[in-house]
Amino acid sequence: MRYLNIRSFLMVTLIICLTTYFFVSPCHLFAASSVSDFEDGTLTTETGGEFQKYEGVPGDSDTRIQAIEVCDTFGAAKTNRALRLTVLEGNSTLYYLPKPGTKVLIPQASNADRLSFYIKLPENYPSGQDNNFHVGTYTRDPINGDLSQNGAHYYHYLNIPGTVNWTKVVCNKHPQHQVTVKTDPGNDPVMWGYYDGFTRFYLSALQKPETFPWEVYYDEVKFYNIDEPENDDTINSISCTYFGNGRFQIGWHGNSQYNHNNHRYEIRYSHSVITNKNYSSATIVPGGPFKLAVGSYNFIKADFTISIQEQGTCYFAIKDIDSSSPYVSKIDYEFDYSNSGDAIPPSVPTGINVNVQ
């Protein structure tokens, strides 16, 4: 009898939890994890989320997207598929909603402290003085927030060059801007935990290439946790782009567009994992120390060439040498020429066209 009571209690608890997630408020059933690597050939995730294109308000002709689809000819980081947006006019924006038509939270973001993804922009994609791309986020109190609202709106700024190879992006909990607020949002700018309250996010390529149509590719969209502290105060929104022949460009923002950061930075690399403890034993990349880019509000760029083999993973760590923080911030880049994963796909790749809109 006691066993049956316990069993009944557990079943009722599970039902309440699932009901709460889908209709009322979040129930943290999922650990920080991958949103999608698109390997199943769809734009819908296993938790019911969906990647959607955005074309602005009715009558707005600035952005016109022909199709959003999954291609099966290549992917980043040893995957075989990637999401592709084909743009007929203007720039592009890709939305992710955890359950279309609702305001529920993204379960994969719960307890996470990083959002990462791979992106491939056209060659010679225009850069900006401070940014040419941003990650737009919405976060609200997961327990006491207004369940009808998206939440506070933030931007993570990036300056991503176009190349035939993939760029990896890592966003921490320090956005560069909050809508309607003209001060540095700071690290983890909300009381409830920045990622814990995510209701949706979007990935927006802001510039317009010279020729149309143009394509942008995404892969390996993930939330995750770092295994040791990093410098989230003055090293944020990191991107790592590979151009081939050992040439990399790593870009990041010092804090926000409202705090001009004149700090100096150095970068080290290794073919094994770099930590706060072993950072000094890794190899320094040439060209440093690196400072604020000319004309930028807060963007720092390191463009350098190193001697590497294009296989396995190359690990990078950035250190603010003018900061009191003892921590470095990290990004890695995984090569995958075994299946042309880093090479540009054919101009019209064979694809699995799903959710074409």
Q: Residue 205 in contact with residue 162, Cβ under 8 Å?
A: no
The answer to whether residues 208 and 62 belong to one domain is yes
pLDDT score at 62: 61
Question: What would the pLDDT profile of 43-62 be if each residue is shown by its tens digit?
Answer: 999 999 999 988 665 444 46
319-351 burial, b at 16+ Cβ within 10 Å, e below that, comes to: bbeebebebbbbbbbbbbeeeebbebbeeebeb
pLDDT score at 271: 93
The answer to whether residues 60 and 18 belong to one domain is no
CATH code for the domain in which residue 325 is found? 2.60.120.260
pLDDT score at 183: 94
Question: What would the pLDDT profile of 265-279 be if each residue is shown by its tens digit?
Answer: 999 999 999 999 999
The answer to whether residues 180 and 228 belong to one domain is yes
pLDDT band at 216 (very low <50, low <70, confident <90, very high): very high
Q: Tally the domains of the chain.
A: 2
Question: What would the pLDDT profile of 181-200 be if each residue is shown by its tens digit?
Answer: 999 999 999 999 999 999 99
Distance CA 130, CA 296 (A): 5
Decide if 357 is inside a domain: no
Terminal alpha carbon distance of the chain: 55
Which whole-number Å values give the CA distances from 139 to 109, 127, 177, 213, 256, in the listed order? Answer: 11, 28, 13, 33, 18
SS3 assignment for 308-320 = CCCCCEEEEEEEE
Distance CA 78, CA 168 (A): 13
pLDDT score at 32: 52
pLDDT > 70? residue 95: yes
Structural domain that includes position 88? 34-352
Better-predicted residue by pLDDT, 23 or 169: 169
pLDDT score at 56: 60
Mean residue pLDDT of the chain comes to 85
pLDDT score at 318: 98
The answer to whether residues 22 and 142 belong to one domain is no
% of the chain at pLDDT higher than 90: 66
Nearest to residue 206, comparing CAs of 52, 63, 96?
63
In this structure, the number of other CB atoms found within 10 A of the CB of residue 251 comes to 26
Distance CA 217, CA 119 (A): 6
The answer to whether residues 6 and 87 belong to one domain is no
What is the enclosing helix (H) or strand (E) of 2? helix 2-19
Radius of gyration, CA atoms only, the chain: 21
| Token digits of residue 74 | 């290549």
Residue located via tokens 């949706």: 200
Question: What would the pLDDT profile of 222-254 be if each residue is shown by its tens digit?
Answer: 999 999 999 999 999 999 999 999 999 999 999
Distance CA 240, CA 247 (A): 11
The answer to whether residues 208 and 281 belong to one domain is yes
Task: Report the sign of the C-alpha dihedral through residues 29, 34, 38, 39, in that order.
Answer: negative
**What values do phi and psi take at 147, rounded to 5?**
-70, -5
pLDDT score at 336: 66
pLDDT band at 337 (very low <50, low <70, confident <90, very high): low
The answer to whether residues 204 and 323 belong to one domain is yes
The answer to whether residues 319 and 250 belong to one domain is yes
DSSP state, residue 102: S
